[in-house]
Chains A and B, each alone.
Chain A
Amino acid sequence: MITKDIIDSYIEKIPPSPKALKETLMLLNAGELTKASKVAQTDLALSSYLKNLVNKPIYGFKNEVTETSQIFGILGVSGSQQAVYNYMVSLLSPSKWELFKLNATSFHELQAKLSNRWKDILEHLEIKDKDIESAITLLPASIIVSEALFCEKLEDINLLRSVNQIDLNTVLQRLCGVDLFDICEQISQKWDMPSQVAEIIQAASGVKPAKDETTDLLGKWMHLLLFYELSQPMFIEAELNDFIDFQVEYVGEIYDDFSQVMEIG
C-alpha cells in the first residue's frame, strides 16, 4: 500500500523554505521586527496569509489589520516566527483535500486555534521561548502528511478500519517502520527548524515519550490540545478525530490543569 520508497519520494519533493522566508526568519531570530516585516512584504502569498490569519475571530481584533509591519508589531518576535512557520506548513497542504473533509479556510482555522491555545498553555506553564512557541506549527503537518500519503488509499483504509481499530499513524508504522511524526521531523530538518521543535512533536504523538522531562511535559500538553481541537464539531466532521490514537493515560496527569486553562466546565 505505502512503502518506504513512497515516503522518501514524498519528503524529496518537499521544497526547501523560500529565500524570503529564510531571511524573514533570520531577521526575526535577530529581533529585527521592522526589517523582517519589510522582507516578508516582498512575498505576496505570505503577507496575504498573515493578513487572513490575524483577522480571524480567535485573535479578537476589532479593526481589520492589513499592514505586515502592523501584524509583526502585534504578534511580536515569537508570534511572528510562529506565523511564518504556520505559513510554511500551509504551503504543503493540498489544493484539494480528499481524505479529510478540509479546505484552506478550515485548515488555517485549525492552525490559528492551535497556535493561540498553545500560547495560553505556555503562559500557564510560564515558559517564554520562541522556539517552543513555534513547535505547535509543525503539528498540523502530520495531518497534511496523512492526506498526502493516504488520499489515494481511501477505500483500502476504510476497509481496513472496518475490521480493525487502527489509526493512520499505526498503519504507517507497521507498514514502513516510520510514522507520521518521524516524517514531520524530517520536514523540520529540511526547513532548518530548531531541533527542539521536532522533539516536542515526537512526544506529542502520544506514543513516544521524550526522555527530557520538560519536552515530555510539553508533548503531553500538545497531545491533549490536539484532541481538544479535534473534538470540535468542525474537525470531527472533517474526519480528523481518529487519524491518530488519543493516548488518554499519557495526558491523565495534566488534565485538571488543562481544563482550567481551557476553562472546561
Chain B
Amino acid sequence: MRALVKNGIGIFTPQGFLDGNNNASFLSIEDIDATAKLNVDMILVSLKKVIFFNRNGLDTFVKMFIKVRASKHITIGFCDYDSKKFTAISKFYKNDINFSLFASQDIAELFSSNYKNQNKNILLYNEDKSQRSAMAIELHDKGHNPIIAQTEEEFKEKSSNANAYDVIIQDSYLGQMGQSIATRVTGNAIIYTVSSFLDAEIGNTFNIAYHNNSLNVGFRLFIFDTYKVISMNVHALNFFSKLSSSGAEYNATICFVGMTFEKTPLSFKETLEDAGIMFFNQMDDILQDKELLEELGASSAAAIANKRVLNKVMVTELPNFIQATVSTIEMMTNSKAAKDTVKINEIKIEAKGDKIASSIGFYGDMDGMVILVFPKEIAKKACELLIGEKTDDMELILDTLAELVNIVGGKIKTLLSDQKISVDITLPRTYPNVDALLEIAEKRKGVQVDLSFDNDKFLFFLTR
C-alpha cells in the first residue's frame, strides 16, 4: 500500500476490516520505509475508512512503526477515528501505548513541523495530566496557543463554546515524538527542524544536496527551527557559518528561530551573525510578517551564482521531460497538446498577464530545473481533477499546482530511471505571477518549448 504524503505527514488509509489475518497484506515494512524516505516527520495509519479492527489488526502495524521510529526518528501512530474507536484502542493497549493517536489529520498537523496553520487557539483535554502537559508544550513549541482543560467538566463547559477555539483536541495521545531534520515549505521559505545537541554529526544528517538544489530552484529563505536545540559545539558552528557563506552568492538568507544560548557560548551567536545568519525569537516574527517574508524570500536575479549551460545529456533526454509534462497536463485536463516551437534561448514569455508559474528541480546523475508557465485558466482546469470542483481561490490553485508539478517531477524521475539515470526531485516552487518567476529565471539559458492545449498557450522551459 502507498502512503499519501502531505505537509510532512505520510498517511496510509486501509479500507474495511482490519484483523490479524489481513493487516500484513495492507502494509509492509518496505511501504513504511519508502514513505520515511520522503522526508516525512510523521507516519500514520488513518482509521477513517476502517469499520472494524481488533488488537491483532493493529499490532503488526505497531511493531513495524516502532522499528521505523527507532531508525528514522519520526512520529508514528494512528489518526482519524471517533471516540468509540479511541476507547477501543486505549482498552487494547491500556498503559502500554507507545505510539501517537491523533483524532484527525488536522490535529496531527498541529504537532508536525508544518507551520502553515500556526498560531491557533487550541482547547485540549486528556485524562492523564502528563499527557495534557506534553501536548501543551509541543503545541506551544509549534507556535500555537494551547488552553488546557484540567477536568472533564471544565472541558465540556469550555468546548460548548466551540467558536472560542480554532481547534478542540480530545481523544488524542502523544507517544514519543520524532526528532529528524525535517524540511517544510511555507510560502517560499524552507524550514529545517533541528534538535538536542548540534555537533559534527550535523554534516552527515543535513541533506546538503537537497539544500543546494533548493537554492538552484530559487528558494532564498531557509529557517532553522532551533527551539529544541540544547547546545551547539564548534563543529556545528563551522558548518552553519559555511552554509551561510555558500548561500550568500545566491543572496540566500539563513535564519535561526528560538535558539537560546544558555549552554552555547554567546560568542557563537556573534560568529554566526558575522556569517550573515539572522536570529528570531519566535517563528511568528518571520512568518506572520508578510513584508519581511517577502523581502527575505524574494528571488534575486542578480545573485544567481552560476549560470550553467545545458549539456548533451539534458538535450538527449529532452523528449522525456516534454513527454512527462505534456502527458501529465493532458491527463489532468483531458485535452490534447500540440508542440508549437522549440528554441534554445533565454526564457521569453509573451503576454505576461494572467499567468502563473511553477518550477521543480532535479539532481543526481544530472541536475537542472523544469519551469512551467500556465495561463490561469489552464492551471485552474488542470487542478480541477485534484480539487474536485471549480475554484477561484488563488492560494488553493497555487497549492494544487505544486501537487501537479510534483506529479510531473515524479514522472520525469520514472522516465529517466528507465534510461538508468537516477535523479531526486526538490519540492516544487510556485510563482503567483510571471515577474516573480523572471526574477530567478530571466538570465538563464535553456530549452523553451511552446505548447498549446486546445487554444491555450502553455510554456515549458528546461534549464540548469
Name the B residues within 8 Å of A232 (CB-CB).
21-22
Name the B residues within 8 Å of A174 (CB-CB).
384-385, 388
Which listed residue, B15, B388, B407, touches A241 by the CB 8 Å rule?
B15
User: Are A241 and B14 in touch, CB under 8 angstroms?
Assistant: yes
Segment 373-409 of B: residues with Cβ below 8 Å from A: 384-386, 388, 403-404, 406-407
A160 at interface by CB-CB < 8 Å: yes
A10 at interface by CB-CB < 8 Å: no
Q: If the complex has contacts A159-B410, A161-B4, A246-B49, are A227 and B16 also in contact, measured as CB distance less than 8 A? A: yes
User: Are A3 and B406 in touch, CB under 8 angstroms?
Assistant: no
Interface Cβ pair total, 8 Å cutoff: 103
Interface size grouping (class) on chain B: 35 or more
Name the B residues within 8 Å of A88 (CB-CB).
none
Contact with A along B1-35 (1 / 0, CB 8 A): 11011000001011111100110111000000000
Which listed residue, A1, A163, A170, A175, touches B403 by the CB 8 Å rule?
A163
Name the B residues within 8 Å of A245 (CB-CB).
15, 49
How far, in whole Å, are A161 and B26 apart by their CA atoms in the complex? 16
B231 at interface by CB-CB < 8 Å: no
User: Are B15 and A242 in touch, CB under 8 angstroms?
Assistant: yes
How many Å from the CB of B325 to the closest CB on chain A? Answer: 12
From B122-130, B213-221, B287-295, B328-336, the one touching the partner chain is B328-336
How far, in whole Å, are A164 and B383 apart by their CA atoms in the complex? 11
B158 at interface by CB-CB < 8 Å: no
How far, in whole Å, are A162 and B2 apart by their CA atoms in the complex? 8
A83 at interface by CB-CB < 8 Å: no
Which listed residue, A156, A158, A163, touches B386 by the CB 8 Å rule?
A163
Q: If the complex has contacts A175-B334, A231-B22, A236-B22, are A163 and B15 also in contact, measured as CB distance less than 8 A? A: no
User: Are B51 and A251 in touch, CB under 8 angstroms?
Assistant: yes
**Which of B11, B51, B52, B54 gathers the greatest number of chain A CB atoms within 10 Å?**
B51
User: Are B2 and A161 in touch, CB under 8 angstroms?
Assistant: yes
Q: If the complex has contacts A1-B334, A175-B334, A227-B51, are A233 and B4 also in contact, measured as CB distance less than 8 A? A: no
B48 at interface by CB-CB < 8 Å: yes
Q: If the complex has contacts A1-B330, A174-B388, are A163 and B17 also in contact, measured as CB distance less than 8 A? A: no
How far, in whole Å, are A227 and B332 apart by their CA atoms in the complex? 29
B145 at interface by CB-CB < 8 Å: no
Which listed residue, A2, A163, A259, touches B52 by the CB 8 Å rule?
A259
**Which of B4, B327, B331, B384 gathers the greatest number of chain A CB atoms within 10 Å?**
B331
A264 at interface by CB-CB < 8 Å: yes
How many Å from the CB of A62 to the closest CB on chain B? Answer: 26
A59 at interface by CB-CB < 8 Å: no
Segment 403-423 of B: residues with Cβ below 8 Å from A: 403-404, 406-407, 410-411, 414
Name the B residues within 8 Å of A261 (CB-CB).
none
A155 at interface by CB-CB < 8 Å: yes
How far, in whole Å, are A193 and B328 apart by their CA atoms in the complex? 39
Name the B residues within 8 Å of A175 (CB-CB).
334, 385
User: Are B327 and A236 in touch, CB under 8 angstroms?
Assistant: no
A248 at interface by CB-CB < 8 Å: yes
CB-nearest residue of chain A to B405: A163
Q: If the complex has contacts A153-B331, A161-B4, A251-B51, are A237 and B25 also in contact, measured as CB distance less than 8 A? A: yes
How far, in whole Å, are A261 and B330 apart by their CA atoms in the complex? 47
Name the B residues within 8 Å of A1 (CB-CB).
330-332, 334
How far, in whole Å, are A159 and B409 apart by their CA atoms in the complex? 10
Name the A residues within 8 Å of B18 (CB-CB).
231
CB-nearest residue of chain B to A224: B51
Name the A residues within 8 Å of B51 (CB-CB).
224, 227, 246, 248, 251-252, 255
User: Are A155 and B52 in touch, CB under 8 angstroms?
Assistant: no
How many Å from the CB of A152 to the closest CB on chain B? Answer: 12
Name the A residues within 8 Å of B411 (CB-CB).
155, 159
How far, in whole Å, are A233 and B18 apart by their CA atoms in the complex? 10
**Which of A159, A232, A241, A252 gathers the greatest number of chain B CB atoms within 10 Å?**
A159
**Which of B16, B404, B410 gathers the greatest number of chain A CB atoms within 10 Å?**
B16
Name the A residues within 8 Å of B22 (CB-CB).
231-233, 236
How many Å from the CB of B413 to the closest CB on chain A? Answer: 10
Segment 35-74 of A: residues with Cβ below 8 Å from B: none
User: Are A156 and B4 in touch, CB under 8 angstroms?
Assistant: no
How far, in whole Å, are A2 and B17 apart by their CA atoms in the complex? 31
Name the A residues within 8 Å of B49 (CB-CB).
245-246, 248
How many Å from the CB of B82 to the closest CB on chain A? Answer: 10
How far, in whole Å, are A231 and B92 apart by their CA atoms in the complex? 21
How far, in whole Å, are A251 and B414 apart by their CA atoms in the complex? 40
Which listed residue, A158, A170, A176, A246, touches B16 by the CB 8 Å rule?
A246
**Subset of 24 A-B contacts with CB under 8 Å:** A1-B334, A155-B411, A159-B410, A159-B411, A160-B407, A162-B407, A162-B410, A163-B403, A164-B403, A175-B334, A175-B385, A176-B334, A224-B51, A228-B17, A230-B16, A231-B16, A231-B18, A232-B21, A236-B22, A241-B1, A242-B13, A242-B15, A248-B49, A265-B54
Interface residues in chain B, defined as those with a beta carbon under 8 Å from any beta carbon in chain A: 1-2, 4-5, 11, 13-18, 21-22, 24-26, 48-52, 54, 327-328, 330-332, 334, 384-386, 388, 403-404, 406-407, 410-411, 414
Q: A159-B411, A227-B16 known; 20 other A-B pairs, CB under 8 Å?
A: A2-B334, A159-B328, A161-B4, A162-B4, A162-B5, A163-B407, A170-B388, A174-B385, A227-B17, A227-B51, A230-B15, A230-B16, A231-B17, A232-B21, A241-B1, A241-B16, A241-B26, A252-B51, A255-B51, A264-B52
Closest 10 CB pairs of A and B: A231-B16, A227-B16, A246-B15, A231-B17, A233-B25, A236-B25, A163-B403, A1-B331, A159-B407, A246-B49
